[in-house]
Amino acid sequence: MKFEERYLNLFVLVGLLLLPIWAQAMDEPFTITLATRAVILALAAVGLNLALGIGGMVSFGHAVFFGIGGYAMGILAYHAQTYTTLSLGLFETGGTNSMPVIWLVAMLLSGAVAFVIGLLSLRTSGVYFIMITLAFGQMFYYFAISWAQYGGEDGLSIYVRNGFPGLNTLVPIEFFGICFVLLCVTLVLFARLQSSPFGLALNAARQSKSRVAAVGLNPTRVKLLAFVLSGAVTGLAGALFADLNRFVSPTMFSWQLSGELIVLIIIGGVGRLMGPVIGACVFVALEHFLGEITDFWHVSLGIILLCIVLFGRGGLIGLITGKEGAHV
């Protein structure tokens, strides 16, 4: 039986919403935390999907933005909790523990860094693009490791989760709600953008830069903007992830994380609206359930990934809906 893709999308979103509500009723807060983790990873991968899925930019350095989001949260909250000032040359701040402010800073910073990385990386393509983005990722990783002021290798612990007006973010289900709403808003924006003129041009730029140039559009500029938006979304996810764990460390910058984000997208379906979400759910479920049984759970993930790459190029969505997806 073949499913319409939008019914599948709706089904997954509703399922992802109902699971923590059920867990709340059953008093199983850990399940809520798992669902929150899946939602946040999904958000990070939705960001990457914009660059990788529509724009064909296989970024192997998206952990940079995830980490920047994380450290934006970590640093601002650290100064707020220790009552110290953070001085940034011209102006000083006492940090903050307000989530909306942290999100804004995380998105602006990661967007700005994405602009610089994109500007340099987009001069290349193919394997070189993968390698240069990886190199940026490693740069940030090693920088974070040696950044003693903010914990270096050990990372930074934030003792109280940051606040959101009107909600008690320490209650797992309320924090889940925040993350879920942000994911849904991002998905709506992603869907609009994908069908908009900009999305059409970006989609065309993935397939043929010369075609886009021949109609008088600058393909590099289109891709660069997509890369910036992509970095900002992944940065937002990084800030949420840090808040979920109340901890930031250099592993948020690690290349393994960049790789995982790519894997999530491939599992779900490259360029599909819900591809990253389905990928993240499968990933977190495997990590948890198989991880309890064996330390070698990554093997099963590898096998699934292998099967999808070999037999179902549209990812799980492609397999279920029977439609070929965008190929990278």
Partner 1 sequence: MYRPILATHGLTKSFGALNATRDVSIDLNSKEIHAIIGPNGAGKSTLIKQICGEMQPDSGRVTLDGQDVSKLSTFARARAGLGRTFQVSDLCREDTVVENVVLGSLGAEGAVWRFWKSALKTRDLCERAERALERVGLIEERYTRCANLSHGQRRQLEVAVALTLSPRAFIMDEPMAGLGVEGSKQMTSFLDGLRKEAPILLVEHDMDAVFALADRISVMVYGKVIATGTPNEIRNRKEVREAYLGDAV
Nearer to partner 1, 123 or 192 (CB): 192
**Shortest Å, Cβ 55 to partner 1:** 13
Check residue 168 for interaction with partner 1 (CB under 8 A): no
Rg (CA), the chain: 19
User: Residue 66, Cα to own-chain centre: how many angstroms?
Assistant: 7
Check residue 192 for interaction with partner 1 (CB under 8 A): yes
- DSSP of 56-123: ----S-THHHHHHHHHHHHHHHHHHHHT--EEETTEEE----BHHHHHHHHHHHHHHHHHHHHHHHTT
Nearer to partner 1, 51 or 261 (CB): 51
Check residue 222 for interaction with partner 1 (CB under 8 A): yes
Nearer to partner 1, 195 or 300 (CB): 195
Check residue 124 for interaction with partner 1 (CB under 8 A): no
Which residue bears the tokens 């940030």? Answer: 140
Structure tokens at 12: 């997954």
Check residue 196 for interaction with partner 1 (CB under 8 A): yes
Nearer to partner 1, 167 or 213 (CB): 213
Among 147, 198, 255, 297, binds partner 1 (CB under 8 A): 198
Among 195, 289, 300, 309, binds partner 1 (CB under 8 A): 195
d(CA 160, CA 294): 33
Among 83, 197, 293, 310, binds partner 1 (CB under 8 A): 197
Size of the site for partner 1 (CB under 8 A): 26
Q: Cβ of 138: how many Cβ atoms within 10 Å?
A: 16
Among 14, 170, 211, 322, binds partner 1 (CB under 8 A): 211
For 218, phi and psi rounded to 5 degrees? Answer: -90, 105
Check residue 64 for interaction with partner 1 (CB under 8 A): no
Nearer to partner 1, 145 or 225 (CB): 225
Check residue 212 for interaction with partner 1 (CB under 8 A): yes
Check residue 188 for interaction with partner 1 (CB under 8 A): no
Structure tokens at 176: 């889940």
d(CA 319, CA 307): 11
Check residue 207 for interaction with partner 1 (CB under 8 A): yes
Nearer to partner 1, 149 or 210 (CB): 210
Among 82, 85, 218, 300, binds partner 1 (CB under 8 A): 218
Q: Reduce the DSSP state of residue 164 to 3 states and report it.
A: strand
Report angle CA 191, 196, 202 to the nearest 5 degrees. Answer: 95
Tell me, what DSSP letter sits at residue 124?
A: S
Check residue 270 for interaction with partner 1 (CB under 8 A): no
Check residue 217 for interaction with partner 1 (CB under 8 A): yes
Check residue 208 for interaction with partner 1 (CB under 8 A): yes
- Angle in degrees, 0-180, between the axes of helices 29-49 and 275-293, rounded to the nearest 10: 140
Strand segments (E) across the chain? 86-88, 91-93, 156-157, 247-248
Residue 254 falls in which region: left (phi positive, over 0), alpha (psi -120 to 50) or beta: beta
Nearer to partner 1, 84 or 196 (CB): 196
Check residue 327 for interaction with partner 1 (CB under 8 A): yes
Check residue 76 for interaction with partner 1 (CB under 8 A): no
**Shortest Å, Cβ 219 to partner 1:** 8
Residues that bind partner 1 (CB under 8 A): 192-193, 195-201, 203-204, 207-208, 210-219, 222, 326-327
